[in-house]
Amino acid sequence: MALLAILQYPDPRLYKVAAAVTAVNDDIRRLIKDMSDTMYAAPGVGLAATQVDDHRRVIVIDISDTHDKLQVFINPEIIESSGVATCEEGCLSVPGIFDKVERAEQVKVRALNEKGERFELTASGLLAVCIQHEMDHLRGKVFVEYLSPLKQGRIKTKLVKAQKTER
């Protein structure tokens, strides 16, 4: 089992835009395994490759209580969205910070699975929130950027201070 280091906000590498995966091969499957081990150990319900400093379009999500319903999204695209919902979000790259974010209530996603097969899925509730949150990571966006500049400044100050005392 390989646990990967999770980048902490405001690390500039979190702002990189991920590139499309060109072949779903053993290298990508190793990344998926390492990312899922890292997500379960954190613990979290999702993880984007960006957060482990790998800038390819790969997401893992498991919103089950039993940790046995891993969902893998390679090169995800939202092809339909509807409604508006506000949900309290957290992020493994922004430890200890939770705040409300408004997003689409339902999304239809097209992606590849770990075998390289194309699939489409319609999601609502926590899964829809998680998909949108992780897809934001792939385009270099962290959820705190939806908050006011005042809150963003406070969060940045708090986390930079915490990271200095950790060293």
Catalytic residue set: 134
- Nearest residue (CB) to ligand K1U, 25 versus 64: 64
Neighbours of 126 (CB within 10 A): 13
Tell me which of ligand K1U, Zn ion, none is bound by residue 89, counting a contact when its beta carbon lies within the kind-specific cut-off of 5 to 8 angstroms: ligand K1U
Q: Which does 130 bind (CB under 5 to 8 A by kind): ligand K1U, Zn ion, none?
A: ligand K1U
By CB under 6 A, is residue 134 in contact with ligand K1U?
yes
Contacts of 134 (CB under 8 A, 6+ apart): 46, 47, 48, 59, 61, 73
Interface residues for ligand K1U in 43-72 (CB under 6 A)?
A: 43-48
Residue (of 30, 57, 55, 23) closest to 131 by Cα position: 57
What is the β-pairing status of strands 58-61 and 71-82? antiparallel
Which CB sits closer to Zn ion, 74 or 91?
Answer: 91
130 scored as a contact of ligand K1U (CB under 6 A): yes
- Which residues bind to ligand K1U, rule: CB under 6 A? 43-48, 89-93, 129-130, 133-134
